[in-house]
Amino acid sequence: MTAPIEKLEVRQGDITRLAVDAIVNAANRSLLGGGGVDGAIHRAAGPELLAECRTLGGCPTGEARLTMGYRLPARYVIHTVGPVYRGRHEDARLLTSCYRHSLALAAQRGARTIAFPAVSCGVYGYPIEAACGIAVDATLAYLAEEDRIERVIYVLFSASDRRIYEDHIARRGQA
């Protein structure tokens, strides 16, 4: 069995270009689209994605919902709603929950490869270092319990965010 940390990968770029089983969208509770990565995913997937999202009736913060990927190279989109950062303990709990719910939905639908953006780190204001630690902790905890997921890719838009993830994972690997 592959060790959980060996299943993690970091890339820089546009998540909409990834041919993985599932990409995760940093959505809002309406699931009806927005800016940032959400806008990019809806533009690349086409109007069928919004049509399916309309049938879902929204999603509470910290949970996730699955749709098809339509014109994306990814088969599924998992829409999760991260917390708006306010510096409370609750923020970390909700962000952890986004990762757990997204991974559980992916595994349930037979996805083996999944890509995450830095959920909550744009408009929602979560500091990237803290969010990275939460993302990696939540993913490793999940992968330790459930081995159907073979690869988890964190896709960062900027070189500085990519380095934060790479350094964090390298340190975790040495621990």
Supply the Cα-derived Rg of the chain in whole angstroms.
15
| Beta carbons within 8 Å of 161's beta carbon, 6+ residues apart | 12, 118, 121, 128
- Residue 9 CB, shortest distance to ligand AR6, in Å, is 14
Binding site for ligand AR6 (CB under 6 A): 14-16, 26-28, 34-38, 40, 82, 117-124, 155, 157
Q: Which is nearer to ligand AR6, 16 or 97 (CB)?
A: 16
Q: Which is nearer to ligand AR6, 8 or 118 (CB)?
A: 118
Q: Which is nearer to ligand AR6, 59 or 111 (CB)?
A: 59
- Residue 82 CB, shortest distance to ligand AR6, in Å, is 4
- Residue 42 CB, shortest distance to ligand AR6, in Å, is 9
How far, in Å, are 108, 132, 138 from residue 55 at the CA level? 20, 32, 29
- Residue showing tokens 């995913």: 41
What tokens does 175 get? Answer: 């621990």
